[in-house]
Amino acid sequence: MTTRSRRAVITGIGVLSPIGSDAAAFWSALRAGTSGVRAIRGFDTSDLSCRIAGEILDFEPKALIEKSYRKSLNAMSRMVQLGVVAAQLAVRDSGLMKSLMPPERFGVSFASVMAETDIDDVAGLGAACSAGVGRPVDMDAWGRTGVPQMPPMWMLKYLPNMPACHVTIMHDAQGPSNSITTGDLAGVAALGEALRALQRGAADFMLVGGCESKLNPLTLVRLDVFAPLTREYEHPERAVRPFDRDASGTCVGEAAAAFGLEELAHAQKRGATILGEVVGFASGVDRGLTGAGLARVIRNALADAGVQPADIDHVNAHGVGVRELDRFEARGIGEVFGRDVPVFAPLSRFGNTGAASGILELACSVLALRHGELPGTLNHDDPDAGCPIAVHTGPPQVVTKPYAVKVSTTDMGQCGAVVVKRWDNA
Amino acid sequence: MRRRVVITGMGVVTPLGHTVAELFANQTEGRTAVGPITRFDARALPTTFGSEVKNFDLRRYTKDADRFARCGLNTKFAIGAAKQALEDAGLLDTASGDRTRIGVYLGVGEGPDNFPALVNSAAAAVVGDRAGSARFVAAIRPALDPRAESEVEMHTTVGHLSRLFALDGPNASCLTACAAGSQAIGEAAELIRAGDADAMAAGGSQSMLHPLGVAGFTRLGALSHRNDSPATASRPFDLTRDGFVIGEAGGVVILEELEHAKARGATIHAELTGYGSTADAYRMTDPHPAGKGAIRCMANALADAGLNATDIGYINAHGTSTAANDAMETTAIKAVFGAHARKVPVSSSKSMLGHLIAAAGAVELVISVMAIQKGVLPPTINYATPDPVCDLDYIPNAARGVRVDHVLSNSFGFGGQNVALVVSRFRG
């Protein structure tokens, strides 16, 4: 192992979520146990089997985005807009002045996906060359009259590296830049990569973010045919039930979250407010979803941080509300922590936000450590006997220890863990 | 001291060969893979040609090819390249080594496409000039195959490699446009240096040779229109270049911590000595004309390798054959290399392979390693008319026998993403 004399602290948070779109509103909704899972309002869902989601109802990119960048919004899908605005909120929160930051020391590490096309963008060209549903496309018409109708910047609305690229341009961030696409693991992976970049001295400030909007008709119908979405949602806010005996599946959401992650001495020199420290990271695969591989990854992250399970206030789990996946996650967490460390799973409040989930969910723990209170998990009423963990529910409980562990997992067993520490002016 | 990273395995699935040896032989002989698009009917498009992988058979790489039948070419090419690379490295046996210390990091493109269903359903949804989401959903649902749709999810390619080859270490994918393959290799090397893994299968895999991919690049004005002569369309640094040629491929290298490789007696092909990643922070579609980000990323990679510009014996250029890239890259090389810029040979593998997008950097790194091993530098083909702003030694049209110890490989992507890698002859 290399010596790690450089430390990484969080100096800014930006959140756009179904339960609040600034850090203060987000925290008060978390404390209050507010759910952001509702019937979808953005478009007609009558032909979908799952009609609920964590939808952001108050997102007004035009009002939020820096004026000079407003016209670029047209070239961004909703995912990109969310990512760019969350990044802007995080930079603003960190108090970073563009003129004071050497641009080559400012990097970007973002989690995202290939966004699905807006139907309006392909409707016209579809009409130009379709001979009807189920029929071959008229490729001659496609070439001659279809393609010319495609918006010139169509591809750039949806590519996964667009959030990071816009962020580099908006903030003159010329340092290392990457866009990680590993599904629900991507956020934690992006954070881990940024942590290592700061530790090895490749940058002094890393904008770390994640964004995804699954609230798109094409995304939702695709997920409808293969993803374990709940069909039981008479009460949307009760539908996603992490580690619960009555777990019936998950639902999707949309969000973006970003951290300003900064080398400690750099942050202290400019007098930045420090919100927490990222002290450990590890990742790996648990191919059989047994939990043993996840436990190994968690132990590696604890070792990287130099802490023991007894130092941990709580584990922040993904908890998607799908029995097989929750049991996998619980076995891994349980193997390391038993029932001694409470588990908090914020996802039941806003649905699975995919590439945004790692940073968004971790933001809950950073805020909990900072405020000294851990909110309760929603919709965990009857523990699933297959989940050997103690899930914290009900009203907020007092934070008693300085560290939290964020766990992210995918349905293919890809997993990552990050250890964060409360900032005590130490 | 920093952990050193060596290359102990290489594998490719490319339009110019499905083995490293075949690819490099074709590269040094100056053969092109560019021809009419056969994957779909592209005859009415402004660009009708590309660089396709032909005769790819997944059964050569796995007994369970049926299991991956619904995967996209991104996953299929990745499996082919990774299998070869692991075999080359002696790590294919799933009982060999501590698998929890071996990971995967790929630049991965899109999964399977469903172009007819998308187009027909969008057309069915049109009322007035707005598309109706409910009509769209009703029209497309019957055309969706659940197994194919699950393969669209972007974490699946690297997940499949983990499962198929028992690679339980760090598992990540990135997509930074045309820089992704190099970026994955650079970040995988950093995971090894930081102690997060001992070995990584790293590289890239993508095919954009589908109707929406080709159309998207067409609308961005990025593709060559030389339909009357596809074989000469990719002409990097030539005055008459008019855009890039879209290609597809998979390329994987096995990166390994030096002591780990030595302890198991692995054959070391080369050492990965330098990595630089920067952003132009300039524009979405155009590179910074003076090469601001490209200059710093090359300089960072050299500094990371502890080398001077004069140590570099060959530059494998990004060299896309677009007006803007090739001029910018030339300017940037001159800024970094000074007087040495006129002496160091530069060539573009894309003149023969086309642009392999997320796989480009990985395949080009393999070619760079081969250039060190074989002492032969592949040419830039189709170079006929010198461009006054591109005035370096581009190894025009014929390979050159030169011993080189250090090679710089550039990859620059849309949105101003720049990556440079330095690969060096291994010296214990």
* CATH assignment at residue B282: 3.40.47.10
Single out the residue in B96, B127, B146 at which a domain terminates: B146
User: Structure pTM?
Assistant: 0.98
Single out the residue in B126, B146, B166 at which a domain terminates: B146
- Which residues does chain B have within 8 Å of residue A146's beta carbon, measured at their own beta carbons? 119, 215
The per-residue pLDDT for range A215-240, each reduced to its tens digit, is: 999 999 999 999 999 999 999 999 99
The per-residue pLDDT for range B89-135, each reduced to its tens digit, is: 999 999 888 999 999 999 999 999 999 999 999 999 987 666 789 99
Single out the residue in B98, B128, B146 at which a domain terminates: B146
Residues A91, A97, A98: CA angle, nearest 5 degrees: 90
Q: Which of B178, B297, B390, B406 is catalytic?
A: B178
β-pairing, B102-108 vs B171-174, is parallel
Distance (Å, whole) CA B196 – CA B191? 5
Neighbours of B220 (CB within 10 A): 17
Minimum distance, in Å, between the CA of residue B172 and any CA atom of chain A = 6
Residues A263, A265, A271: CA angle, nearest 5 degrees: 105
B115 touches chain A (CB under 8 A): yes
Answer whether A150 sits within 8 Å of B282, measured CB to CB.
no
- Which residues does chain B have within 8 Å of residue A225's beta carbon, measured at their own beta carbons? 141, 144-146, 149
DSSP code, position A274: P
Rg (CA), chain B: 21
Buried b (16+ CB within 10 A) or exposed e, A262-283: bbbebbeebebebbbbbbbbbb
Minimum distance, in Å, between the CA of residue A333 and any CA atom of chain B = 18
Whole-complex ipTM = 0.98
β-pairing, B199-207 vs B248-257, is antiparallel
Q: Is residue B90 classed exposed, middle or buried when 0-12, 13-18 and 19+ CB atoms within 10 A define those classes?
A: middle
Could you tell me if B56 and B84 are in contact, meaning their C-beta atoms sit under 8 angstroms apart? no
B30 touches chain A (CB under 8 A): no
Full domain range(s) for residue B136: 116-146
Q: Which has the closest alpha carbon to B395: B18, B21, B6, B30?
A: B30
> Residues in chain A with pLDDT < 70?
1-3, 426
Looking at the fold, whether B298 and B206 belong to one and the same domain comes out as yes
Three-class DSSP category at B206: strand
The pLDDT of residue A4 is 73
Looking at the fold, whether B348 and B397 belong to one and the same domain comes out as yes
Looking at the fold, whether B320 and B221 belong to one and the same domain comes out as yes
The pLDDT of residue A259 is 98
Number of compact structural domains in chain B: 2
> Domains in chain A and their CATH numbers?
8-115+160-421 (3.40.47.10), 119-154 (no CATH)
The pLDDT of residue A97 is 83
Looking at the fold, whether B134 and B224 belong to one and the same domain comes out as no
The per-residue pLDDT for range B303-335, each reduced to its tens digit, is: 999 999 999 999 999 999 999 999 999 999 999
Looking at the fold, whether B279 and B391 belong to one and the same domain comes out as yes
Could you tell me if A277 and A23 are in contact, meaning their C-beta atoms sit under 8 angstroms apart? no
Q: Which of B44, B173, B285 sits opposite A142 (nearest CB)?
A: B44
What one-character-per-residue DSSP string does A334-386 give?
Answer: HHHHTTTS-EE-GGGGT-B-GGGHHHHHHHHHHHHHHHTEEPPBTT--SB-TT
The per-residue pLDDT for range B2-20, each reduced to its tens digit, is: 999 999 999 999 999 999 9
Number of H helices, E strands in chain A: 13, 14
| Catalytic-residue membership of B269 | no
Distance (Å, whole) CA B56 – CA B428? 38
What one-character-per-residue DSSP string does B287-339 give?
Answer: --TT-HHHHHHHHHHHHHHT--GGG--EEE----S-HHHHHHHHHHHHHHHGG
Looking at the fold, whether B168 and B189 belong to one and the same domain comes out as yes
Looking at the fold, whether B376 and B316 belong to one and the same domain comes out as yes
The identity of residue A52, as a single letter, is I
β-pairing, A37-39 vs A52-54, is antiparallel
Residue A103 to residues A66, A204, A327, A343, B56, Cα–Cα distance (Å): 19, 10, 45, 39, 45
The pLDDT of residue A425 is 72
Place of tokens 């777990």: A247
Looking at the fold, whether B82 and B188 belong to one and the same domain comes out as yes
Residue B353 to residues A396, B17, B53, B86, B374, Cα–Cα distance (Å): 59, 10, 10, 24, 20
Three-class DSSP category at B178: helix
Answer whether A179 sits within 8 Å of B283, measured CB to CB.
no
- Which residues does chain B have within 8 Å of residue A139's beta carbon, measured at their own beta carbons? 40-44, 211
Minimum distance, in Å, between the CA of residue B15 and any CA atom of chain A = 24
Sign of the CA dihedral running B287, B289, B291, B292: negative
> Residues in chain B with pLDDT < 70?
128-130
Distance (Å, whole) CA B158 – CA B75? 8
Looking at the fold, whether B131 and B245 belong to one and the same domain comes out as no
Looking at the fold, whether B28 and B105 belong to one and the same domain comes out as yes
Could you tell me if A225 and B146 are in contact, meaning their C-beta atoms sit under 8 angstroms apart? yes
Put simply, the chain B residues between 265 and 294 with a CB less than 8 A from any chain A CB are 277-285, 292-293
Sign of the CA dihedral running A107, A110, A114, A119: negative
Q: Is residue B340 classed exposed, middle or buried when 0-12, 13-18 and 19+ CB atoms within 10 A define those classes?
A: middle
| Catalytic-residue membership of B71 | no
The pLDDT of residue B285 is 86
Minimum distance, in Å, between the CA of residue A286 and any CA atom of chain B = 7
DSSP element (H, E) containing B192: helix B180-193
Q: Which of B3, B156, B219 sits opposite A154 (nearest CB)?
A: B219
Mean pLDDT value across chain B: 97
Looking at the fold, whether B206 and B315 belong to one and the same domain comes out as yes
Three-class DSSP category at B424: strand
Looking at the fold, whether B214 and B247 belong to one and the same domain comes out as yes
Token pair for A376: 């309760």
